[in-house]
Amino acid sequence: MTERIHVDLGDRSHDIHVGAGLIDDVGGLANLPETASNVALVSQRPVLERFGDRVTTSLGNAGLAVHVLEVPDGEPAKDLAVLGTLWDRAATIPLGRGDAVVGLGGGVVGDLAGFMAATWNRGIDVVHVPTTLLAQVDASIGGKTGVNLAAGKNLVGAFHQPRAVICDVEVLSALPPRVFTEGLAEVVKYGFIRDPDICTILEDGPPSPQDVDRITTLVARSASVKAQIVSADERESGIRAHLNLGHTVAHAIETLTGYGEVLHGEAVAMGMAVALELGDLLGVTGDDVRDWGIDLLRLMGLPVTLPALDRAKAWEVMERDKKATSEGVRFVVLEEAGTPTLITPDRAAVDAALDTMSSSGRQADLANQEVGHG
C-alpha cells in the first residue's frame, strides 16, 4: 500500500509519499521542474553503498545528470566546514538556479542537503529521500534545515520546503536495531501530541521493520500529523511549537554529550519523560498520563532516564535554545493524550523533574528491565 500526504503551503505545497519500493521511483516522484538538468545527490557512504545506484538510476531515467556529494557519517557532519565543502562541490558541477539537491539518508543528510539548497544561489529545489525511521516521520518534513555549533544544536539554519518527500519503508529493514528504535521516539511523540491512535497501535508492542503494512501505517499517520501542523503554522509562531515536546531537554543532552553518544531519538525520549514528570509536578499532567506515557516509551525500548549532566551547563544550553523566549525556557507538556500545552516553568520545577528522571527514574528503569520490559 502507498500513502500520499499533502502539505498545504500555497506555492510551497508538496506531497509526502509513503510506501514500499518507492526508492526505485525517486525520479518519477521528485516533482522537479523542467529547468532541472543537474542533481546534487547528498548522502553518506553506507547509504550510497546500499541505495545509491537505485536512486541514481531512477534520477537518470528521468533525464537528470546525477553528481554524488558524499558527506561524513553521523551528527558531526552537521558542521559549517562540511557545508562549505558542499558549496565548493556545487560550484564545480556547476549547479544552476534551475537545478536541484536530493538528500538521501537520515536526518543529518536531510538537514545538510536542505540547508545547502536553501543557500546555494539564494535557494534551489530540494527533494528528501529519508532512509531512517526518524527522518521519515519527522526530520524530512516541515522545511527545517541547519547545522550545529559548539554552543548548541541547529542554531544556524533556514526554513526551506522540499519539492517532495519520498519515504520507502522497505529501506528501514537495513537499519541497525538501535537506529530503528530511536525513530520510534518521534512516532510516540505524534501520538502524545495529536493522534492517540498511534499510541494504541504501539501498545501491541514495538513494530518490526519487516512488518511493512504496520510500519507504513505508523509512518503515514506520523507524517500526516506533522503535515497538518506545518500546514497550519509553517514558521512555528503557534501550534508548531507542540512538535518540540521533549526537544528542549533533548538538545541539551545532545550538546553536552558531544553529538552522537546519545542518538537524537533517544534524547527526545528522555526529554519527553522529563516533560511528563514536569507536567505531573505542576498539576497539568495527571499521574495516570505520566505513568502511561513513560511505560509506553519503555515498551518501545527507549531510554527515559538522563545521563549525568552538569546542571549549570544544561541550563546555559536550554536558555540559548531557539525555543527560549525573554520570559524563560518554554516546555511542551501534556494535559492528556493528544492535548499538549506550552508552559514557561520556573527553574526549580524543571530541576525537580530532571532530578526525578535522573535518579529514581533510573531505579525504575532497572526494575523494569528485571521483569523483561527494558
Walk along the chain (374 residues) in steps of 10 and give the mean pLDDT of each run.
94 97 97 96 97 98 98 93 97 97 97 98 98 98 94 91 98 97 98 98 97 97 97 92 96 90 96 98 97 98 94 91 76 97 95 86 45 35
203, 299 Cβ separation under 8 angstroms: yes
Please say if 251 is a catalytic residue.
yes
Please say if 122 is a catalytic residue.
yes
Contacts of 258 (CB under 8 A, 6+ apart): none
What is the pLDDT, as a whole number, of residue 324? Answer: 66
Q: Among 170, 118, 166, 169, which residue's Cα sits nearest to residue 140?
A: 166
Alpha carbon distances (Å) from 189 to 44, 127, 342: 27, 25, 15
Find the catalytic residue in 14, 67, 221, 240: 240
What is the pLDDT, as a whole number, of residue 321? Answer: 74
Q: What is the pTM of this model?
A: 0.92
- The alpha carbon torsion through 24, 30, 32, 36 (nearest 10 deg) reads -40
Measured distance CA(299)–CA(296) in Å, rounded: 5
CATH topology of domain 3-177: Rossmann fold (3.40.50)
Helices 360-370, 287-299: inter-axial angle, 10-degree rounding: 50
Half-sphere exposure of 188 (CA within 13 A, CB side): 35
Please say if 236 is a catalytic residue.
yes
Measured distance CA(353)–CA(333) in Å, rounded: 12
Please say if 347 is a catalytic residue.
no
Q: Among 247, 250, 252, which residue's Cα sits nearest to residue 314?
A: 252
Please say if 186 is a catalytic residue.
yes
Find the catalytic residue in 186, 234, 266, 277: 186
Please say if 14 is a catalytic residue.
no
Find the catalytic residue in 89, 128, 221, 251: 251
At 35, phi and psi to the nearest 5?
-70, -20
Find the catalytic residue in 128, 244, 277, 298: 244
End-to-end CA gap in the chain: 33
Measured distance CA(248)–CA(262) in Å, rounded: 15
Query: 245-374: same fold as 3-177?
Result: no
Measured distance CA(283)–CA(353) in Å, rounded: 13
Please say if 226 is a catalytic residue.
yes
Find the catalytic residue in 78, 264, 290, 298: 264
What is the pLDDT, as a whole number, of residue 322? Answer: 62
CATH for 245-374? 1.20.1090.10
Find the catalytic residue in 75, 182, 234, 236: 236
Find the catalytic residue in 78, 221, 247, 298: 247
Domain ranges of the chain: 3-177, 245-374
32, 163 Cβ separation under 8 angstroms: yes
